[in-house]
Amino acid sequence: MPPKTPIIYSEKCLGYGNWHIEGPQRVKKAQEILSAKGYQFMQPEPASEDSLLAVHDAEYIFNLKKGLVEDSDTPPYDNIFEFARLSAGGALLASKVGGFSLMRPPGHHVGRNGKALGAATRGFCYINSIALAVKTLGKRTLILDIDGHHGNGTQEIFQGDPKVWYVSVHRHPTYPGTGMVTEGNSINFPLPVDCGEQVYLKALDNALGMVDFGGVEVVAVSAGFDIYQGDLASLGLDEPSYYKIGRRILALHKPTFFVFEGGYRGEINGLCIDQLLSGFEEKMSF
């Protein structure tokens, strides 16, 4: 058996937003499940303030640090800048060790200056952690976004970047309302509510088929679990669906890391992360 993918986690990420749907339970229960299944854990360090300028404008970072950025989805919690820096540090560590960063807050909706591509809010996101990891690594990267919402922030940051492909299969209609068309290096596949696994996997295969893998050195997965049936952006998937997604990521044969995005039920998140990584790790059965 190959070693399990390390999980990047710090219990510090549980320290805010008890009342919010993007709350600590979505990570805490998942961590407990993965721990019981024998996964190994690594502790992240916060991303340095300077490093954030690779993906965000200085003014946005200044205002975020001061608690001056606020919208109806994304509250200015006390010390949220520190929580977001630690979550970004999780993505950085995941990119170095080929791990899965199980940290919050998520990041894929936040662009250079906050709200991205005309979205109404930052969708629970403060710092774009996966974008920071990809920029810092500096390699030719496929970002595969399997969250049920379009990663408008990530697309905005990398639009036109010759080193990066951004691929997203997501639900429409729902927040943020972007990602309706493929534009250059951003490949977008919107799908109807509860379309089911077959339709989803076909769209995923079609989307991946549009990428020129000759130049890709690394795969970075924005790993959201809100397409699970009944979750916030349900496409009607279940646990075995995530195993099948993991197999498709393995079939790309590239060094890969994962960054947690959405998914609002901790137990489901834990079970689906295990299925995703089990599919990804089962190398011998190919």
* Residue closer to Zn ion (CB basis): 16 or 225: 225
Q: What is the DSSP letter of 106?
A: -
Q: Counting contacts by CB under 5 A, is residue 105 touching Zn ion? A: no
First to last CA, the chain: 13
Q: Counting contacts by CB under 5 A, is residue 179 touching Zn ion? A: no
φ/ψ of 222, rounded to 5, equals -80, 100
Q: Which of 145, 147, 231, 274 binds Zn ion (CB under 5 A)?
A: 147
Q: How far is CA 189 from CA 179, 184, 204, in A?
A: 7, 14, 8
Q: Which of 115, 149, 150, 172 binds Zn ion (CB under 5 A)?
A: 149
For Zn ion, what does the binding mask look like between residues 106 and 145, x meaning CB under 5 A?
----------------------------------------
Question: What span, in angstroms and rounded, lies between the C-alpha atoms of 114 and 148?
Answer: 20
Count each helix (H run) and each strand (E run) in the chain, helices first: 8, 10
Which region, judged by CB under 5 A, interacts with Zn ion, from 1-9, 110-118, 148-156, 195-203?
A: 148-156
Of 28, 31, 30, give the one whose Cα is nearest residue 18: 28
Asked if residues 47 and 85 have their Cβ atoms less than 8 Å apart, the reply is: yes
What is the secondary structure of 15-73 as a DSSP string? Answer: SS-TTSSS-THHHHHHHHHHHHTT--EE---PPPTGGGGGTS-HHHHHHHHTT----SS
Which region, judged by CB under 5 A, interacts with Zn ion, from 95-103, 205-213, 221-229, 234-242?
A: 221-229
* Residue closer to Zn ion (CB basis): 99 or 263: 263
Q: What is the closest distance, in whole angstroms, from the C-beta atom of residue 11 to Zn ion in the complex?
A: 23
Q: Contacts with Zn ion: how many residues (CB under 5 A)?
A: 6
For 221, residues 6+ apart whose C-beta sits below 8 A from its C-beta are 143, 144, 145, 146, 249, 256, 257, 258, 259
Which region, judged by CB under 5 A, interacts with Zn ion, from 36-44, 81-89, 131-139, 258-266?
A: 258-266
* Residue closer to Zn ion (CB basis): 33 or 169: 169
Three-class DSSP category at 143: strand
Q: Active-site residue among 108, 109, 149, 170?
A: 109
Q: Counting contacts by CB under 5 A, is residue 224 touching Zn ion? A: yes
- Residues 16-75 within binding reach of Zn ion (CB under 5 A): none
Q: Which of 22, 226, 231, 274 binds Zn ion (CB under 5 A)?
A: 226
Q: Six-digit token pair at 224?
A: 């959201």
Tell me the residue nearest to Zn ion as measured from the CB: 262
Q: What is the closest distance, in whole angstroms, from the C-beta atom of residue 265 to Zn ion in the complex?
A: 13
Q: What is the closest distance, in whole angstroms, from the C-beta atom of residue 26 to Zn ion in the complex?
A: 11
- Residues 262-281 within binding reach of Zn ion (CB under 5 A): 262
Is 109 tagged catalytic?
yes
Asked if residues 5 and 219 have their Cβ atoms less than 8 Å apart, the reply is: no
Binding residues for Zn ion, rule: CB under 5 A, are 147-149, 224, 226, 262
Residues known to be catalytic: 109
